Amino acid sequence: MNAITPINELFERRSVFPDVGSQERYARLVGLDDHKAQLTKMLTLLVNPAGLENWHAKHHAASPALLSMVLRRPPLVVMAGDVGSGKTELAETVGDAVARAEKIDVTLLPLSLSSRGQGRVGEMTQLLSAAFDHTVAEGMKLKSANGKARGGMIMLIDEADALAQSREAAQMHHEDRAGVNALIRGVDRIANGRLPVAVIMCTNRLASLDPAVKRRAADILVFERPGDEQRRAVLQNALKTAGLTTRDIDQLVRITGPQQGRDHGFTFSDLTQRLLPAIVLDAYPSSPIKGARAVEVAARILPTPPFKEQSP
């Protein structure tokens, strides 16, 4: 392996915010307001800790340990939940909200799953180390002496259980163990350097993640399938202006929820990527969308089955 690994082998792409398309995608994540606010606030503190310091000086100046504990948290967030629950979409777009709030550029670097390498001894460890080397070097350039960074970075690790599986698993290969060690060292390097860099890990298998990874997480956000009000918000946002009545939307909310013989409802992606396009295409090109017909279309679609997690 070359001493310097090309960046396109480490990351799937490089996205820079603010970005209009990402802003629109972020806005469409209805029903996730608490997660959006929590994640945005945490990432904002990484690039502008002075904001928290000013708040602390105003309200809790007598408790310096409190401020230190918050600022010293590892810049790692684990986002866990079922397939289609919105976690990856939020991870890929939250940088836009931070960029606009702080008026800086934020760069997203999604780690490529090819970072697992081809199974050759030491390859995955070297690839992960190279990815963190690049991220740390870029993060160093963004640090500022006045407290507010000149920019921010997000390293996104999707399907994180593929890289951070628990080292307690008896069947785990020694190369995978070494890769987990490299991942942990990388997160620690970012934390110790107080860099304006966050690592976001998304997984369907929270129980499979290494305990040391979960211990380092500043937050573990759990994403559930949307409940009645969340589904209503998605459907109403898209269909109310298309002429559907409240009764039509009520029926769609009921049909897309758990049913007799089925204890799970639609995921966010079931609603936005399957149901709503199906309703549009059913009406196109000869007629407008009609409520009764939309309900019939919804009744024919089965939601994505839940992901069955098994502990290692």
Question: So what's the pLDDT on residue 244?
Answer: 95
Q: What is the mean pLDDT of residues 271-285?
A: 97
- The most confident of 37-51, 110-124, 173-187, by mean pLDDT: 37-51
Buried b (16+ CB within 10 A) or exposed e, 68-96: eeeeeebbbbbbbbbebbbbbbbbbbbbb
- For the stretch 54-98, pLDDT in tens is 899 999 999 989 888 888 888 999 999 988 889 999 999 999 999
Question: So what's the pLDDT on residue 116?
Answer: 56
Residues 303/256, Cβ–Cβ less than 8 Å: yes
Question: So what's the pLDDT on residue 2?
Answer: 43
Q: Identify the structural domains of the chain with CATH numbers, from first to last.
A: 7-47+74-223 (3.40.50.300), 228-300 (no CATH)
**Edge-to-edge strand ranges of the sheet holding 76-81:** 15-17, 105-110, 151-157, 197-203, 76-81, 219-223
- For the stretch 113-146, pLDDT in tens is 665 555 554 677 888 899 999 999 999 999 987 7
Mean pLDDT of the chain: 88
Q: What is the mean pLDDT of residues 229-254?
A: 94
Question: So what's the pLDDT on residue 1?
Answer: 43
Question: So what's the pLDDT on residue 310?
Answer: 58
- The most confident of 63-72, 165-174, 257-266, by mean pLDDT: 257-266
Question: So what's the pLDDT on residue 121?
Answer: 44
Question: So what's the pLDDT on residue 124?
Answer: 76
Please name the residues in contact with 113: beta carbons below 8 A apart, sequence gap of 6 or more. 158, 159, 162, 163
Question: So what's the pLDDT on residue 40?
Answer: 95
Rounded to two decimals, the pTM is: 0.86
Residue with tokens 């507010």: 148
110 has a pLDDT exceeding 50: yes
Q: Which percentage of the chain shows pLDDT scores above 90?
A: 65
Q: What is the mean pLDDT of residues 161-186?
A: 74
Q: What is the mean pLDDT of residues 108-117?
A: 75
List the Cα angle 127/129/132 in 5-degree steps: 110
The number of beta carbons lying within 10 Å of the beta carbon of residue 3 is: 6
Residues 86/268, Cβ–Cβ less than 8 Å: yes
> How far is CA 96 from its chain centroid?
13
d(Cα 117, Cα 162) in Å, to the nearest integer?
12
Residues 152/98, Cβ–Cβ less than 8 Å: yes
- For the stretch 193-220, pLDDT in tens is 989 999 999 999 898 899 999 999 999 9
Q: Which percentage of the chain shows pLDDT scores above 70?
A: 90
Q: What is the mean pLDDT of residues 6-13?
A: 79
172 has a pLDDT exceeding 60: no
Q: Would you state the structure tokens that stand for residue 296, as one six-digit string?
A: 């019939």
Q: What is the mean pLDDT of residues 225-243?
A: 93
3 has a pLDDT exceeding 60: no
